[in-house]
Amino acid sequence: MYTDESITPKPGRACPEPVIRRIGEIEGLGEPWSLDATEIRELLGINSEDFYRRIYAAESGDRPLISLSAATGKYSQKNIWEFVALIELFCGGETEGRLERAGIFFTHPEQLEILGIFLNEAAGAVRRHEVDVEEFSAMLRAFGGYDRARDVYLEEYFPLADLIRRAAAVYCGDRSFGIPDLAEANAKRLLRFFFQKHVLEVRSVFAVLIDQLLRQAVAEGCSAEQGASPRNREQSEADLQDRSSVLQRAHRSMNLEGRALTLPLLKSQYKRLMKIYHPDINPRGLRRCQEITAAYSLLLSAL
């Protein structure tokens, strides 16, 4: 059951606590929460006239994510941003923090924290792993090429679902949420979303390991990156010849050229850059965000 004794609504503002409590009740029944606008209005204790009037004023004032459809819409984790905007309209600027403490919603700094924890977990798994040369060699023979053998090897030894689950557990284990199970589910959902939107990519997360597998494939006479464009093949082969160039590019991507690399510096720089280029903050930042994440993952593993 959700409890938060710090709720002290300001005069004239509704308190999100009843909505949060209701979400906790639904989740407690083992069902994904879902609330329609009418139920939200009743939980907030707002009469219908004031509800519609303020939504109309917000839309007329060009407030992001608020439109007249908000007055009759249905809300769940699938449209969490619209839900947060609606609750914030009636409950004020502290809404995000309260929803975050409940585990319903993660602000951008917390999203970056979850992302960083996942990359740390993945880098640690790569550092602890010793390539099974015989098995990968057998995969190369069985699949007749590097690409498929690499993918199967990664799926076998580094299943994404396990890494995502572990990262979510680490993140939630250090915090106290009003609805713990929902918080962990949302952390996992967020990481899957990052992969869907290519903020995270397998080739970037496991770049160091993929480099080792590629070296073995080339040593066994298997063509590198079969099916890739000539330019990509040339780049992969060049990278094999000069690994330092890969690390130099990673340093440039992180704006760390000429600086002694330490873990605290790498983490702080990663968070600083992602606050600028996170796709939710900067609609044109996806490509740069991918570069930063790939560089961070590579340097993290190298450290």
User: How far is it, in rounded angstroms, from Cα 105 to Cα 80?
Assistant: 7
User: How far is it, in rounded angstroms, from Cα 244 to Cα 230?
Assistant: 22
Report pLDDT digits (tens) over 289-301.
888 888 888 888 7
Residue 7 has pLDDT above 60, yes or no: no
Largest CA distance in the chain: 74
- Number of Cβ within 10 Å of residue 11's Cβ equals 4
pLDDT of residue 198: 86
Q: b/e for 145-179, b at 16 or more Cβ within 10 A?
A: ebbebbeebbeebbebeebbbbbbeebbeeeebbb
Instruction: Average the pLDDT over each of 77-81, 153-157, 237-241, 278-282 and give the range with the smallest value.
Output: 237-241
pLDDT classification of 44: cutoffs 50, 70, 90 = very high
Mean pLDDT across the stretch 8-29?
83
User: How far is it, in rounded angstroms, from Cα 173 to Cα 297?
Assistant: 23
Q: How many alpha carbons fall within 13 Å on the CB side of residue 48? A: 3
Residue 52 has pLDDT above 60, yes or no: yes
pLDDT of residue 242: 55
Q: Tell me the residue type at 212.
A: Q
Residue 239 has pLDDT above 70, yes or no: no
pLDDT of residue 68: 86
Of residues 106, 90, 93, the one with CA closest to residue 18: 90
Give CB contacts under 8 A, 24+ apart, made by 124-132.
Answer: 125/158, 125/163, 126/158, 126/206, 126/208, 126/209, 126/301, 127/301, 129/157, 129/158, 129/209, 131/209, 131/212, 131/213, 131/216, 132/157
Residue 227 has pLDDT above 80, yes or no: no
CA distances from 128 to 133, 144, 148, 261 (A): 15, 28, 23, 21
pLDDT of residue 104: 96
Q: What one-character DSSP code corresponds to residue 33?
A: -
Q: What one-character DSSP code corresponds to residue 69?
A: G
Q: Write down the pTM of the prediction.
A: 0.80
Structure-derived torsion over alpha carbons of residues 78, 294, 213, 224, reported in degrees to the nearest 10: 100
